[in-house]
Amino acid sequence: MEKKLDATVLTQNPQIILLDELTSSLDPSVQRLLAELIFELSQAGKTIMISTRDLTLVNGFQLTVAVISEDQTMEKTGFTGEELQDEDLLHPRAHALSSSRKEN
């Protein structure tokens, strides 16, 4: 139901799009399609805010990211590539997953 609602909202041509855990429980091919859609929307000048634990989703974009800790404090902001390589900011397991996916 939520995914259908997300698609419906996009038909309204919003300037700001908020996406929360968009790729959770989706097939990898559908995740790639959504990543392409997000890229196209950003190229069209849309502001896109993504809440995700899927580091591979945001790693391919030149986006400004904010890393928020478990106690909900803002740790750092910057560009995607820089933040996803900062081992001090990321949970060790998340960093290991991000690194292993890049190598594949």
**What number is the average pLDDT over the span 70-75?**
61
pLDDT of 13 > 70? The answer is: yes
Q: Which residue range(s) make up the domain with 19?
A: 1-52
pLDDT of 40 > 50? The answer is: yes
- Residue 9 sits in the same domain as residue 48: yes
Final residue in a domain of this structure, among 10, 37, 52:
52
pLDDT of 34 > 60? The answer is: yes
Mean predicted lDDT score pLDDT of the chain: 69
**What number is the average pLDDT over the span 51-58?**
73
- What are the Cα distances from residue 5, in Å, to 19, 90, 94? 11, 31, 29
Q: What's the rounded Cα separation, in Å, for the pair 63 and 59?
A: 9
Quick one: pLDDT band at residue 93, thresholds 50, 70, 90? very low
- Residue 92 sits in the same domain as residue 64: yes
Q: Which residues pair with 17 in a beta bridge?
A: 48
**What number is the average pLDDT over the span 37-52?**
84
Residue 97 in 3-state DSSP?
Answer: helix
